[in-house]
């Protein structure tokens, strides 16, 4: 019974971690102030 509880705890923690990480997602950032180019850049 205790083994079952330990396994269930591990499983629940894995789900909680992954759900929390995906819920957080990644920051969207801001639109770059750089213009759309009408000159040839010298390098990337």
Residues at the interface with another protein (CB under 8 A)? 2-3, 6-11, 13-15, 17-18, 21-22, 25-26, 28-32, 34-41, 43-44
CA distance 21 to 5: 24
Residues in the chain: 44
- State both tokens at 44: 């990337």
Minimum distance from residue 15 beta carbon to another protein (Å): 7
* Cα–Cα distance measured from residue 20 to residue 6, given in angstroms and rounded to the nearest whole number: 21
């Amino acid at each position: 019974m205790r083994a079952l509880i330990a396994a269930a705890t591990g499983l629940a923690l894995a789900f909680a971690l992954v759900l929390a990480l995906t819920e957080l997602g990644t920051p969207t950032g801001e639109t770059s102030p750089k213009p759309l180019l009408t000159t040839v850049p010298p390098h990337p």
